Amino acid sequence: MKLAIGNDHAAVEMKNEIMDYLKSKGIEVVNVGTDTAERFDYPVAAYRAAKLVASGEVDGGVLICGTGVGIGLAANKVRGIRCCICSDPYTAKLSKQHNNANMIAFGARVIGIETAKMIVDEWLGATFEGGRHAERVALITEIEQTQKLASRGE
C-alpha cells in the first residue's frame, strides 16, 4: 500500500509521527507537505496529495492541518476525491464503509496523536460496503462531474 500525506505548518510534528506509524506498518508514504514551521498554505499540500490519489499513483491520502477542515475542503475540490474530515475513529471507519473515502483529514490542534493513529487504523482497516452506499457515491460523482443531479430531476 502506498499513501500520500500532506500537511501545513501547524501539523509538522503530527505528520512526522503519522508517517513513522504508517511506515512501521509497512506502508509506503509520499510526503507532499511541509517539514518546517514556516507558513505553508494547506491548499498546496491538499492539491498535491489529492492529485496523486485521483491519478491512482497512490492508494489513498492522509491530510493534516490545524483543524483538518481547510485541507479537507481543498482536497475535495479535486475531481475524484472523497475526503472525510475526521475527529474520531468511528467517523473514519464509516467514511470508508459508506462513502468510499479515498482520503481522510484531521486536525493537529483538535486531536492527539493516539486518536490520530486510531483514525488512520479504522480508515485503513475498513472496506467499502457497496450496495445502497454505491448508489449514493454514484450520486456524489454525478454532482461532481455535472454540477447537477439530473438522475433525480434536479
* Catalytic residue IDs: 65, 98
Q: Which three cell numbers stand for residue 138?
A: 454514484
Cβ distance 83 to 64 under 8 Å?
no
Listed residue (43, 55, 123, 51) closest to 90, CA to CA: 123
Contact 46, 52 (CB under 8 A): no
- Rg of the chain's alpha carbons, rounded to an integer? 15
